[in-house]
């Protein structure tokens, strides 16, 4: 097969750490980038762990490698070079030209192979706060710019990674196609029916994300319990799954919130459900970008979020912020917001996010990242 200009199609391999519900947002960003590949591109998605598929673009291959092997721990350190050789041979057989790598974990396994594949270009996409050690910094600095491009999903993250490495980092702020996203949204009534929520009554807060410490749902429960002393009709719905579930369930019970806080797990149709909520609350302790902000704003739902640079980067002065981890401040912020004009806040946040322009920038940057060597 060849293109109209006689060139062979570019071969792109998208290499991800794992599949499954906890990695949905990461896969979504990679699929957004891959969607901008040149016409005719041959795209393969490789999962080092877990099961796919990665998305609707390209084929998926599952390697089923253990964490100990990938990190070279214990006896697996002896096996790792053999597996890497097999991996390099697979890249050669696929005639790989561009690799899209999911963060530093994947990169530590794959990049050493490129020393024997000098015609292959790699793009590393950083999704969240990353503390690079000296060995990782040395590895990344050992490649010339022609073979390695570093990318981060926000300006704040790009600045942090660039400081550590003293290397340029491209900003690729993930964005959603506004018209397509909004067409898929359920109405408030439909979304509440889908989640089993009352159609009337007090304000319903929604929180979305993996049930892990970095998302801040633990202290959100304490803040919510305090806010209900002033606003007893409040309800809270948390959508997501993760290793903190048992801890959060225990805290909900201890606070006597079983009737008004729902842990509903992972929802495949999450992107359709935002209008079930009067406010979306995002108490994250750290974020690379936080797509939940964009999804909520596109659904015309106002957002109350942690005072993080990455959120201010998106919402500016239109954002509603509360200090990370401060229960009393979050409780008061919740009360203040649910008693105010949420519609006016939502409109201001939409203007600040400027989703149409963000979508255009994502497309243009992605095209450049996937150019053939």
Q: Is residue 363 part of a domain?
A: no
Q: Is residue 367 part of a domain?
A: no
DSSP of 91-157: HHHTT--EEEEEHHHHHHHHGGGGGG-TT-EEEEEE-S-----HHHHHHHHTS-TTTEEEEESSHHH
Residues 168 and 182 in one domain: no
Summarize the confidence of residues 45-55 as an average pLDDT: 86
Q: What is the pLDDT of residues 99-109, one digit of tens each?
A: 999 999 999 99
Residues 298 and 185 in one domain: yes
Residues 299 and 322 in one domain: yes
Q: Is residue 307 part of a domain?
A: yes
Residues 158 and 186 in one domain: no
Place of tokens 């920038």: 361
Residues 39 and 154 in one domain: yes
State pTM to two decimals.
0.79
Range of the domain at 157: 11-172
Residues 232 and 111 in one domain: no
Which one has a higher pLDDT value, 316 or 1? Answer: 316
Lowest model confidence (mean pLDDT) among 17-26, 52-61, 135-144, 308-317: 17-26
Q: Which of 146, 172, 198 lies at the terminal end of a domain, its last residue?
A: 172
Three-class SS state of 276 = helix
Residues 165 and 253 in one domain: no
Q: Is residue 4 part of a domain?
A: no
Q: What is the pLDDT of residues 209-266, one digit of tens each?
A: 999 999 999 999 999 999 999 999 999 999 999 999 999 999 999 999 999 999 999 8
Residues 88 and 189 in one domain: no
| CATH code of the domain in which 75 resides | 3.40.50.11930
Residues 218 and 76 in one domain: no
- Cα separation of 302 and 337, whole Å? 9
334: Cβ–Cβ under 8 A, 6 or more apart, which residues?
205, 223, 224, 227, 231, 234, 279, 281, 304
- Cα separation of 151 and 366, whole Å? 10
Q: What is the predicted pLDDT for the residue at 232? A: 96
Residues 131 and 186 in one domain: no
pLDDT at residue 373 is higher than 80: no
- Cα separation of 218 and 177, whole Å? 32
Residues 221 and 311 in one domain: yes
Burial (CB < 10 A; 0-12, 13-18, 19+), residue 101, is buried
What is the SS3 assignment for 212-223?
CHHHCHHHHHHH
Q: Is residue 243 part of a domain?
A: yes
Of all residues in the chain, the percent with pLDDT exceeding 90 is: 77
Q: Is residue 246 part of a domain?
A: yes
Domain tally for the chain? 2
Q: Is residue 320 part of a domain?
A: yes
pLDDT at residue 7 is higher than 80: no
- Cα separation of 370 and 12, whole Å? 8
Burial (CB < 10 A; 0-12, 13-18, 19+), residue 47, is buried
Residues 157 and 211 in one domain: no
| CATH code of the domain in which 187 resides | 3.40.50.2000
């Amino acid at each position: 097969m060849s293109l109209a200009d006689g060139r062979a199609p570019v071969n792109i391999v998208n290499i991800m750490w794992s599949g499954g519900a906890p990695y949905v947002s990461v896969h979504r960003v990679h699929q957004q980038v891959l969607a901008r590949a040149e016409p005719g591109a041959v795209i393969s998605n490789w999962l080092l762990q877990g099961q796919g598929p990665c998305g609707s673009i390209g084929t998926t291959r599952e390697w089923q490698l253990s964490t100990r092997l990938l990190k070279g721990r214990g006896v697996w350190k002896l096996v790792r070079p053999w597996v890497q050789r097999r991996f390099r041979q697979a890249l050669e057989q696929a005639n790989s030209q561009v690799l899209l790598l999911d963060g530093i974990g994947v990169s530590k396994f794959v990049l050493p192979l490129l020393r024997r594949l000098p015609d292959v270009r790699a793009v590393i996409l950083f999704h969240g706060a990353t503390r690079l050690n000296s060995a990782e910094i040395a590895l990344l600095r050992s490649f010339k710019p022609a073979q390695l491009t570093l990318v981060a999903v926000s300006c704040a993250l790009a600045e942090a990674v660039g400081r550590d490495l003293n290397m340029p980092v491209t900003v690729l702020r993930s964005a959603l196609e506004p018209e397509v996203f909004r067409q898929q949204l359920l109405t408030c009534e439909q979304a509440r029916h889908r989640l089993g929520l009352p159609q009337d009554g007090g304000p319903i807060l929604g929180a979305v994300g993996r049930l892990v410490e970095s998302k801040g749902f633990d202290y959100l429960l304490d803040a919510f319990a305090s806010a209900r002393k002033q606003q007893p009709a409040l309800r809270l719905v948390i959508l997501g799954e993760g290793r903190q579930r048992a801890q959060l369930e225990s805290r909900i019970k201890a606070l006597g919130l079983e009737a008004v806080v729902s842990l509903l797990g992972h929802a495949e149709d999450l992107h359709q459900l935002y209008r079930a909520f009067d406010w979306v609350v995002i108490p994250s302790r750290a974020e690379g970008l936080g797509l939940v902000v964009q999804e909520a704003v596109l659904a015309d739902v106002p957002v109350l979020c942690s005072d993080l640079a990455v959120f201010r980067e998106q919402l500016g002065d239109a954002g509603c912020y509360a200090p990370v981890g401060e229960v009393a401040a979050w409780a008061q912020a919740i009360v203040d917001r649910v008693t105010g004009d949420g519609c006016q806040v939502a409109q201001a946040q939409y203007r600040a996010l400027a989703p149409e322009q963000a979508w255009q920038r994502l497309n243009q940057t992605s095209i450049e990242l996937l150019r053939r060597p």
